[in-house]
Amino acid sequence: MKAFKELMSWIVPIAIGLLLALLIKQFAFQFVRVDGPSMQPNLQNNERVVCLKQAKIHRGSVVVFDANGVDPQVSVKTEYVKRVIGLPGDTVEAKNGNLYVNGKKVDQSYISKSERSSGTGTWTLHSISQENSWVLHNGAYKVPKGEYFVLGDHRSVSNDSRYWGFVPKSKIVGVVKVGFWNRTQPAKNNINQQWKHFFADN
């Protein structure tokens, strides 16, 4: 009996710890590794970030989502990291590299001049949906209810909503935040705080 109590004194705390870790990962946050260059210069390949599962999604928020069922080329669970540009009901278009959401110019100071111009280009939701033969919402003029339009920061290499369409809310894992371990302050602010000044002043 003494041996059993001693064994349980080890097992119970371990079981509680594992349960708490599981609950935190399921409902609060998890660590995510960035794969690829599509969010440069603000997130680097193999960089570790925190994904907050209960955080509100804003225009300008960087999110993690499961691309399986979103990108037609993906057939297994694969997590993409992209920036939200359009919320449900928004119109989104690009003119000579400038982004406009609901007719208002977006502040793109978080990316380089070349990514703002040649990397972004000129298009509307309607034109890219047809040009890239979106499987769903082909011919859309605005972001559908319950879905989001996302872009990578490194526009010239990013595989994003321009090519396959919108991301359903059900596919979004959470909002990305860069932790204290990253000392690159401008890049950190461009991930954590850019949503606060999403639109340009003029």
List the catalytic residues: 38, 82
Contact between residue 182 and residue 47 where contact means Cβ atoms under 8 Å apart: yes
Token reading at 193: 């705080």
Contact between residue 153 and residue 38 where contact means Cβ atoms under 8 Å apart: yes
* Identity of the amino acid at 80: Y
Q: Work out the burial of residue 104: count CB atoms within 10 Å of its CB; fewer than 13 is exposed, 13-18 middle, 19 or more buried.
A: exposed
Measured between its terminal Cα atoms, the distance across the chain in Å is: 76
Q: Report the candidate in 28, 84, 23, 19 with the shortest Cα–Cα distance to residue 58.
A: 84
In the chain, count of helices (H) and strands (E)?
5, 11
Assign 116 to helix, strand or coil.
Answer: helix
Contact between residue 154 and residue 44 where contact means Cβ atoms under 8 Å apart: no
